[in-house]
Amino acid sequence: MKVAFMGLGIMGRPMAANLAKAGHQVTVWNRTPGKTVAGARVAATPAEAARNAEVVWLCVSDAAAVEAILFGPGGVESALYAGMVVIDSSTIAPGDSRRFAARVAAKGAQFLDAPITGGKSGSENAQLVFIVGGPAATVEKLQPLFQAMGKKVIHFGDVGMGESAKLGMNLMAALYYEAFAEAFTLIRKLGVGEQRWMELIRASGVHSALVDTKAAMALAHNYPPNFPLRLMHKDIRLMLQAAEEAGAKLPALEHLEKDVYQQSGAELQELDFAATVQVLEKLAGLTTKPRGIDS
């Protein structure tokens, strides 16, 4: 298929590369010039990338970036035509997805929200899970693209429902890691051996893949950005916004955002969100300077 891919960041660049490897005709565009993908053509603007494409795929940081790419100067809007499909794998508010879908539909095109989970390694190894909202027939039609980049597609219904499901999942990830980080800080203060404690965790009911991945970072005090802290903080704000709109109360998440994420300094923002343990360690007098992204 002819695919225009917008956004060549931690997740997007490997996704575009896997589409090209699978034999699709890929044109890429990135806000910061200079990034390329083997086997793909580079366009100067989103409109140029989208021209004559069957599918436009976005993977960027927030709703403002999505809106600029689609409807800003040189945006995709001028290239939209009846039958084109726009897919957004960014994590944004469900209401923003529905708003963008309506504007795309006015040009006769379709819009799907398809946020992803699997992290950097899942993107690189084509093991992503796509969390999709939009017409079921269109999801089925695009299976070859999903299969080129991931291992599973879960369809949640209408546009916006994929984002809703993703926010719920990321809420669990944020709070589950917070539980680990607080426990890890406590056992260090109590003098419990870290490695022996991890042996207990791995043998118990609280063991999980997320704990394995993030615990390795905390033990090494090294936080390569599988999922940067600044993006998790953005998602937490989206969760709190969605909860307020829905009339739900999320007290644990409110604590986490106020007492941990708001206290995370600039030096942590580009590290993995596992670096939030540094905030707790500092409060406990266990300050350990985080190692850099490329350490």
Please tell me the pTM assigned to this model: 0.93
Predicted pLDDT of residue 295: 37
Give me the residue spans of the domains in the chain: 2-158, 163-283
* Helix axis angle, 209-220 to 194-202, nearest 10°: 180
Judge whether 256 and 236 are in contact, CB under 8 Å: yes
Alpha-carbon distance of 47 to 70, in angstroms, equals: 8
Residue 291 has pLDDT above 60, yes or no: no
Using DSSP's 3-state secondary structure scheme, residue 35 falls into coil
Using DSSP's 3-state secondary structure scheme, residue 237 falls into helix
Residue 207 has pLDDT above 50, yes or no: yes
Amino acid at 245: E
Task: Determine what percent of the chain is predicted with pLDDT higher than 70.
Answer: 97
Domain 163-283 CATH superfamily: N-(1-d-carboxylethyl)-l-norvaline Dehydrogenase; domain 2 (1.10.1040.10)
Query: In this predicted model, what pLDDT tens digit does every residue of 107-155 receive, in sequence order?
Result: 999 999 999 999 999 999 999 999 999 999 999 999 999 999 999 999 9
Q: Which of 82, 146, 84 is nearest to 114 (CA)?
A: 146
Protein fold of 2-158: Rossmann fold (3.40.50)
Residue with tokens 């997320």: 210
